[in-house]
Structure 1
Amino acid sequence: MFAIFQKEINAFFSSLTAYIVMAVFLTAVGLLMWVFPDTNLLNYGYADLTSFFNLTPFVLLFLVPAVTMRSLAEEFRNGTIELLLTKPLSDWHLVIGKFLADWVLIILTLAPTILYYITVYQLGSPVGNVDSGAVFGSYIGLVLLAAVFVAVGLWASSLSDNQIVAFVLGVFISFLLFAGIGAVAKLDFWGSLSYPISWISLDQQYADLGRGLVDSRNVIYLVSVTVLFLWLTQGQVHRKRK
């Protein structure tokens, strides 16, 4: 597993992939946070990172599948998956190794945004007048949400040897889980079922963590969804082994 993780991380940083991912993410979020007038944090008049945490998941919806689309699809297309599977390496080692490498890259991409919190902390009146608990909970939510998106992206990558197909599937399924379920739950005919349906949507879990109280139920749910898609990915890899 560590060998796969190391191989993937080295592949990211020995090419332009990691640097492009980080540059695209930080540029997109930076423009939204500090330049575009409709979302400019400086125009709010108070120290708050709500706009950052509301916008970032939608950037990750596209960024994460762009990272994961090659993870398994490229192995299938080039035929290197057969070589990997002939080694003393279990399906789970392969899947977990690739998952951790992709997830770590996304976490490293998110890390520089801590500067936004420091900036807002200093801009507060008085200094430090910011809800640090909510920021902490939101970052935990972002990291766990990224894990779900990576797991979904890996599964999508395992379904096809075409990277574009893997990207489109990853974006669609991630969007469905994050925003689609919540939108469906708001339809009037659900009645009393509206709340339980909305609770299983990723955006509701993420919003709950962003309130500053890290509830173990939200964490367990997001981890469970991640494990589910990793299990589905392992199933696809196992079929290739036969």
Structure 2
Amino acid sequence: MFAILRKEFNAFLSSPVAYVVMGVFLVATGLFVWVFPDSSVLDYGYADLQTLFNIAPWIFLFLIPAITMRTFAEEKKAGTIELLLTRPLTDGQILGGKFLACLLLTLLALVPTLLYYYSVYQLGNPEGNIDSAATVGSYLGLTLLAGVFVAMGVFASAITRDQIIAFLVAVVGCFLVYSGFDSLASVFEGSPAYYISQLGIAAHYRDISKGLIDSRDLTYFFSLMAGLLLATRLVLQSRNW
């Protein structure tokens, strides 16, 4: 698995895709956090990074499918998938290596945003007047959300040989599991609305972003990731290409 991880990660870093993805993510989040007057921390008056954690999932909604769309679709189109699957590796090891490579690249894009935290920490009045627990929770929530989006993107890439189709399927799938249930819940009231919203990522992401690490939220994210990866493994085992 680690050989696949290293190969995929190095392939990403040797192509312009990785740098375009990270550049777009950092420019977009930087504009929302520091420049745009409706969301700028400097105009907001509070020392927090809520703007970053509100906008990042929507940017990931497009950038992560752009990363994952090539994982299996490109191998199928180039005819190298058969060679890969005949190596002394299990389907699980191949899938795990590709999944982790995409997730690591996504998390690499998050690392420079720690400068945002340091800047807000320094700008607080008094210095350090920022809810660090909520910030840590928000980064954890964003990491888990990225894991689900990557799993969705890898699944979409496994069911087609066309990268554009894989991208579109992943975007739609990520949107539905992130915001679709919230939209559906708005039609109802009371308990039904609550339970329907709990089926989507957004509700669990909001809870973790408050700094409250609940085992139910962690179980939700890991179960969703495991389910998507299991579905992808079943697609690989079917060998229908």
Asked if these proteins are the same fold (TM beyond 0.5), I'd say: yes
1:24 corresponding residue in structure 2: 24
Separation of aligned partners in 2, 1:97 and 1:240? 19
* Structural mapping, 1:31-50, within 5 Å: 31-50=31-50
2:175 corresponding residue in structure 1: 175
Q: Does 1:214 align with 2:224?
A: no
Identity level (%): 51
* Structural mapping, 1:1-242, within 5 Å: 1-188=1-188, 191-240=190-239
Displacement of 1:191: 4.7
Contact 1:61–1:174, Cα closer than 8 Å, also in 2 = yes
Render the CA deviation track for 1:145-198: whole Å, top value 9, x for unaligned.
00000000000011111101000110001000000111101113x653211111
* Gapped regions of structure 1 (runs ≥ 5): none
Displacement of 1:34: 1.2
* Gapped regions of structure 2 (runs ≥ 5): none
Q: Which amino acid letter does the alignment assign opposite residue 180 of structure 2?
A: G
Length, aligned pairs only: 241
Q: Which amino acid letter does the alignment assign opposite residue 147 of structure 2?
A: A
Render the CA deviation track for 1:37-59: whole Å, top value 9, x for unaligned.
22212110121111111111000
Displacement of 1:35: 1.4
**4+ aligned runs moved over 3 Å, structure 1:** none
Contact 1:106–1:146, Cα closer than 8 Å, also in 2 = yes
Displacement of 1:241: 7.4
Separation of aligned partners in 2, 1:67 and 1:139? 20
Render the CA deviation track for 1:174-233: whole Å, top value 9, x for unaligned.
000000111101113x65321111112100010000111111211111011001100011
Q: CA RMSD in A?
A: 1.2
TM-score of the superposed pair, with normalisation by structure 2: 0.97
Secondary structure at the counterpart of residue 160 of structure 1: coil
